[in-house]
Amino acid sequence: MLEFRLYRLSADWVISPGESPRRFGSVLLYRDRVLAVGEDSSSARVVDKLRASLPEHADIVVEEHAYPGCAILPGLINAHTHLELSGWNRGFKEGQSLWEWIPTVVAFRRSADYRPAEAISRGIEECVAGGACGIVDIAQPGWPAWWVETFLPDRRLPSGPRPRVLSLLECIAVREDTVGELISRLDLHRWACTLLGLDAGITPHAPYTVPPTVLRQLVSYANARALPVAIHLAETAEEQELLQHQTGPFHKMFADLGINTRSLFGSGTSWAEYIAILSESSPLLIVHGNHLTSLERSLLQRSARRAAVVFCPRTYRRFGHAGYPLDEYLAAGIPVILGTDSRATNPDLSILRELQTVRELFPHMPGSEILAMATSQPAKVLGWQGWGYLRDGASAQITVVKLEDRIAERDPVEAVLAPQATVRAVWIDGQLAYSADNEN
Ligand SMILES: [Zn+2]
């Protein structure tokens, strides 16, 4: 007997961006596709129809997974993290500034505590336990050896479901004469991504580590190959001081590292210049964007082909920033999507917690808009077909969230965004990848 195994997930609520939440709904999965969303009766009809079309000696088995007190959501996307830092054990001083923190990261990477293969594997597990089916990771040049070590024990891929990973190779090149070496690394990166089943992209690290002359060459490499591009931009106001006047704390940080920034940035270099160089990249992820002015936001909106700003709420709060221009980005028509950033600035890699932090920081914002920041918006910007919604034919990526009953009665979307909500299960490509039952 030939057997086709389908999975029916049912819960108190099924929530898909842009639609009213459905009460007591279910989602029917077969392999990596959603076959039906809605009442149990609609998935029963789909099963009957499929069964009727089967030849003799074939049958359908529907495995039921009931999640009482929960909401079924499209698989969440964590749009910014650094998996290799998941083994971070250096603590974090409250009120520490970015230029004080960077040297501690450099010291960590040079220490015996830095075990990237182990950290990547643990980081992926943490992202999934935090509700993510998709991850945008910033990879270090030391890879792909670590990833091969992680994913190819005995040169075989592990059989369990793995989240979709867009791996963006971090490029740091303060001098133009190192670009050739970076390009070779990028070629290797693309090859390794293909081997490991990852999406490849590139991240010129930040304006203070990639001068405009270098950025132009990296961007033209990426654009010629239609690679996604991300950059850490406008994370602190002091970044601008370095670009424009070659003074301030970043200048001092480089001087301490023996690098003279005067030769790297012409006076008057600005974030606007960076945005102009990056505008042809698609998709383009502006990570942080904490300090872009209205002029720079409108330049980004007008010039970029397909861009989003990646907000990392808990990291933002941890560095003591206040007043993130979320409303301003949305008013300018620039999508804002969410990331956890790394374990070096965040206590965990839960994207659900980031959604809940946005609710805390922006009490006036409609819950549906917040939820879209980790579902439909990143799916659209990244061009991940079938992600971000729950509808017939969607990609079978599901995050199940346990809700607090009383809040859910009032508003199930708000119940997802309430701090009491936790990740109950995660399904990736139609397979159970995480279940809170198996914890403890
Ligand atoms: Zn980052």
User: Ligand 1 centre and the CA of 429: distance in Å?
Assistant: 27
Vertex 122: Cα angle to 168 and 87 (nearest 5): 85
The average pLDDT across 87-116 equals: 87
The pLDDT of residue 146 is 64
Tell me the CA–centroid distance for residue 61 and ligand 1, in Å: 44
pLDDT mean over 310-323: 89
Q: From edge to edge, which strands make up the β-sheet containing 76-81?
A: 76-81, 132-139, 164-171, 199-204, 229-233, 284-288, 307-311, 336-338
For residue 69, is pLDDT > 80?
A: yes
pLDDT at 155 over 60: no
Question: Hey, what are 148's tokens?
Answer: 């091969």
Inform me whether the pLDDT recorded for 207 exceeds 80.
yes
Distance of CA 256 from the midpoint of ligand 1 (Å)? 22
* pLDDT above 80 for 178: yes
The reported pLDDT for the residue numbered 92 is: 76
pLDDT at 347: 93
The pLDDT assigned to 253 comes to 84
Residue 156 has pLDDT above 50, yes or no: no
- Sign of the torsion angle spanned by Cα atoms 47, 63, 21, 391: negative
Pick from 8, 13, 5, 7: nearest CA to 410? 13
Distance 83 CA to ligand 1 centre (A): 10
The CA 232 to ligand 1 mean position distance, Å, reads: 6
Alpha-carbon distance 256 to 318, whole Å?
25
Region of poorest pLDDT, from 122-136, 155-169, 239-253, 330-344: 155-169
How far, in Å, is the centroid of ligand 1 from the Cα of 233?
10
Could you tell me the distance, in angstroms and rounded to a whole number, from the CA of residue 312 to the centre of ligand 1? 9
For domain 2-74+389-438, the question of CATH label 3.40.50.300 is answered with: no
Res 303 pLDDT > 50: yes
**Centre of ligand 1 from the C-alpha of residue 57, in Å:** 53
| 208: three-class secondary structure by DSSP | coil
pLDDT tens string 217-244 = 999 999 999 999 999 999 888 888 888 8
C-alpha to C-alpha distance for 244 and 370, rounded to whole angstroms: 35
76-382 has which fold? TIM Barrel (3.20.20)
- Which of the four pLDDT bands, split at 50, 70 and 90, describes residue 152? low
> From ligand 1's centre to the CA of 310, what distance in Å?
10
Domain residue spans of the chain: 2-74+389-438, 76-382
Token couple for 137 = 């990771």
Tokens of 400: 């199940």
* pLDDT over 90 percentage in the chain: 67
At 322-343, the pLDDT tens digits run 789 999 999 999 999 999 999 9
Rg of the Cα atoms in the chain: 22
Contact 227, 285 (CB under 8 A): no
301 Cβ contact list (under 8 Å, min separation 6): 332, 333, 334
Rounded to the nearest angstrom, the distance between the alpha carbon of 316 and the centre of ligand 1 is: 11
259 band by pLDDT with thresholds 50, 70 and 90: confident
Encoding tokens for residue 191? Answer: 């090859």
Give the distance (Å) from ligand 1 centre to CA of residue 30: 35
Ligand 1 centroid to 419 CA: how many Å? 24
Distance 241 CA to ligand 1 centre (A): 20
Task: Looking at mean pLDDT, say which of 39-43, 96-100, 202-206 comes out highest.
Answer: 202-206
Whether the per-residue pLDDT at 440 is higher than 60: the answer is no
Quick one: pLDDT band at residue 142, thresholds 50, 70, 90? confident
The CA 148 to ligand 1 mean position distance, Å, reads 23
In eight-state DSSP terms, residue 314 is H
Q: In terms of Cα–Cα distance, which of 341, 348, 347 is closest to 131?
A: 348
Expressed in angstroms and rounded, the spacing between residue 166 Cα and the centre of ligand 1 is 14
Cα–ligand 1 centroid distance for 170 (angstroms):
10
Host H or E run for residue 309: strand 307-311
The SS3 assignment for 126 reads helix
Q: List Cα–Cα distances, 78 to 262, 268, 439, in angstroms.
A: 36, 35, 22
Least confident of 20-24, 47-51, 283-287, 379-383: 47-51
On the question of a common fold for 2-74+389-438 and 76-382, the answer reads: no
Lowest mean pLDDT among 3-12, 25-34, 164-173, 239-248: 239-248
**How far apart are the CA of 266 and the centre of ligand 1, in A?**
25
- Residue 313 CA to ligand 1 center (angstroms) comes to 12
Span 405-416, average pLDDT: 94
Residue whose tokens read 């190779």: 169
Is residue 216 pLDDT above 90, yes or no?
yes
Instruction: Judge contact between 394 and 72, C-beta under 8 A.
Output: no
Cα-based torsion angle of the residue sequence 199, 204, 206, 211 in order, rounded to the nearest 10 degrees: -170
* Lowest-confidence segment of 70-74, 172-176, 202-206, 363-367 by average pLDDT: 172-176
Please say if the pLDDT value at position 159 is more than 80.
Answer: no
Cα of 176 vs centre of ligand 1, distance in Å, is 23
- The rounded Å distance from CA 131 to ligand 1 centre is 19
Q: Tell me the CA–centroid distance for residue 399 and ligand 1, in Å.
A: 24
* Residues in Cβ contact with 399 at an 8 Å cutoff, skipping those fewer than 6 apart: 72, 73, 74, 75, 76, 131, 132, 133, 352, 423, 425, 426, 427
Amino acid occupying residue 431: Q
* 311 CA → ligand 1 middle, Å: 10
Q: How far is the CA of 307 from the centre of ligand 1 (A)?
A: 17
**pLDDT of 439 over the 80 cut:** no
State in Å: Cα 288 to ligand 1 middle.
8
| Ligand 1 mean position, distance from CA 422 (Å) | 25
Count of CA atoms in the C-beta half-sphere (13 A) of 49: 8
Span from the CA of 81 to the centroid of ligand 1 (angstroms): 6
- Tokens standing for residue 160: 């369990």
Residue 228 confidence (pLDDT): 98
User: What is the percentage of the chain residues whose pLDDT exceeds 70?
Assistant: 95
Going from the Cα of 318 to the center of ligand 1, the distance in angstroms, rounded, reads 14
Measured in Å, residue 285 CA sits from the centre of ligand 1 at 11
Which pLDDT belongs to residue 14? 97
Strand runs (DSSP E) across 47-194, as ranges? Answer: 58-74, 76-81, 132-139, 164-171
CA 365 to centroid of ligand 1, rounded, Å: 25
Residue 237 neighbours by CB under 8 Å, 6+ apart: 291
pLDDT(434) > 50 = yes
* Residue 187, token pair as written in the block: 């070629």
User: For residue 138, how far is its CA from the centre of ligand 1 (angstroms)?
Assistant: 7
Report how far ligand 1's centroid is from the alpha carbon of 27 (Å): 35
CA dihedral 371, 375, 378, 381 (to 10 degrees): -110
CA distance 20 to 433: 27
CA distances from 123 to 118, 159, 172, 350 (A): 8, 18, 23, 10
Q: How far is the CA of 84 from the centre of ligand 1 (A)?
A: 11
User: With contact defined as beta carbons under 8 Å apart, do 228 and 285 qualify?
Assistant: yes
CA–CA distance from 378 to each of 284, 338, 422, 431 (Å)? 11, 8, 21, 22
- Separation between Cα atoms, residue 343 and residue 355, nearest integer Å: 17
**Is pLDDT above 80 for 144?**
no
